[in-house]
Amino acid sequence: MRCAQVSPLLSAYLDEELAPNQMLRIAGHLTHCPGCRAQLAVLDRVKAALGGLEQPVADASFWPRAYREVRRSVTAARGRRWSVPRHPALAWSTAVVAVLLALVITFGPSWQPREPELAPIGAESEISALVREHAKLRASTPFAEEGRVGYILTEAEGESYE
Amino acid sequence: MDELDLALFESLMQKHQAQLYRTAYRMTGNADDAEDLVQEALVEAFRSFHRFQKGTHFDRWVYRIMSHTFIDRLRRRPKVAVESLDAELARGDGESFRREPMDGGAGPEEMALRREFNARVQEALLRIPEEYRLVVTLSDIEGLSYEEISEAVGCPLGTVRSRLHRGRTLIAEKLTTYMDGMGRRNRKK
């Protein structure tokens, strides 16, 4: 391996985070490369320096405060879910429309769609009677209907063939 | 429902909150900003808590959410409290600088030097890009494996490896500049 290939892997080599064959190849390179050995030593010192930093601890009052804030944010989010619109005019107009609707529903005329009047079951309806009469007429005098239509048209145009 | 979730969330969080705070502190460099960061991350994590799959690694899940919060917040507020390296050099007291962290049995003078060294390391950490800083913090301060970092940050293993290497190299460069400066000052004396 060349230095250019080894150099970017030195941190991972230091942390033993490479595949075994890579570890062995880099170890082989380091035995005869003082430059890469020096770079590895620098990285090792940086790692040790960072690991040796004092461990800061949060102020005793911090965590109770932090969880109170989480609790408060949950409550605030719940409040926003049920809040009225931000614009007062919109809020008022919505309220007025709602009240008017309630009044109309409570005290207004009770309108219901009219159902069609149906002939009582079992009794012969007017339409059925007409159909039956028409069928009888067609059977007895086949051209009577055409004559009637011609008469109607003549009447409508105001002409007379008499 | 929310109360039950909050109780469960708190009990899971309590196992990892110290680690979380340390990471926030290293990412921001001071207690006030760390508290703000953790606070915001906690609220975000709880909002997403219904998506957490029970039985999976809570710490990695919460780190992932917090990583996004950290990065978002740091980008919104890019100015972190970083002291100028040059200003510190001008104020130098002429004491020699030791590269290695010193042992626990050090006297007051050595303790002061250790504090100075730690401050330098923290400054160097704050001066690298936040993507590198987060990976370096999780690896070298919190001791997470590459796989854990990959899950926590939400990026592939190869990206973790390259960010960590680049981050450490940048920190080394910044510390070398400081140490060289200290060496020159000592020689002038």
What's the pLDDT tens digit per position in A60-71?
Answer: 899 999 988 888
Asked if A62 lies within 8 A of B35 by C-beta distance, the reply is yes
Per-residue model confidence as pLDDT tens digits over A72-115: 887 776 666 555 555 667 667 777 888 888 887 777 666 565 55
Residue A104, CA distances (Å) to A108, A114, B32, B148, B185 in order? 5, 20, 60, 65, 91
Q: What confidence category does residue B121 fall into, taking pLDDT thresholds of 50, 70 and 90?
A: very high
Q: Tally the C-alpha atoms within 13 A of residue B106's C-alpha that lie toward its C-beta.
A: 14
Task: Considering only the beta carbons, identify the residue of B2, B18, B172 that sits closest to A46.
Answer: B172
pLDDT of residue B186 exceeding 80, the answer is no
Q: Would you say the pTM of this structure is higher than 0.90? A: no
* A residues 72-91 lying closer than 8 A (beta carbon) to B: 73-74, 77-78
Asked if A46 lies within 8 A of B118 by C-beta distance, the reply is no
Residue B62, CA distances (Å) to A25, B13, B68, B129, B134 in order? 37, 8, 10, 22, 14
Task: Considering only the beta carbons, identify the residue of A8, A55, A66 that sits closest to B162.
Answer: A8
The better pLDDT of the pair B100, B24 is held by B24
In angstroms, how far is CA B173 from the centroid of its own chain? 18
pLDDT of residue B82: 44
Asked if B140 lies within 8 A of A66 by C-beta distance, the reply is no
Task: Considering only the beta carbons, identify the residue of A46, A55, A73 that sits closest to B168.
Answer: A46
The CA distance from A55 to the nearest CA of chain B, in Å, is 7
Nearest CA in chain A to B101: A49
CA-based nearest residue to B43, from B15, B23, B13:
B13
pLDDT of residue B76 exceeding 50, the answer is yes
Quote the percentage of chain B above a pLDDT of 70.
77
Asked if B165 lies within 8 A of A58 by C-beta distance, the reply is no
Nearest CA in chain A to B3: A71
Asked if B31 lies within 8 A of A73 by C-beta distance, the reply is no
Using a CB-CB cut-off of 8 Å, the residues of chain A touching B26 are 53
pLDDT of residue A158 exceeding 60, the answer is no
Q: What residues contact B13, with CB distance under 8 A and at least 6 apart?
A: B20, B42, B45, B62
The CA distance from B189 to the nearest CA of chain A, in Å, is 27
Quote the percentage of chain B above a pLDDT of 90.
27
Asked if B168 lies within 8 A of A47 by C-beta distance, the reply is yes
Nearest CA in chain A to B174: A46
ipTM, 2 dp: 0.76
Distance CA B161, CA A49 (A): 19
Instruction: Choose from B15, B148, B165, B175 for mutation: most chain A CBs within 10 A.
Output: B165
- Residues A14, A43: contact at Cβ < 8 Å? yes
Beta-carbon contacts below 8 Å between A and B: 104
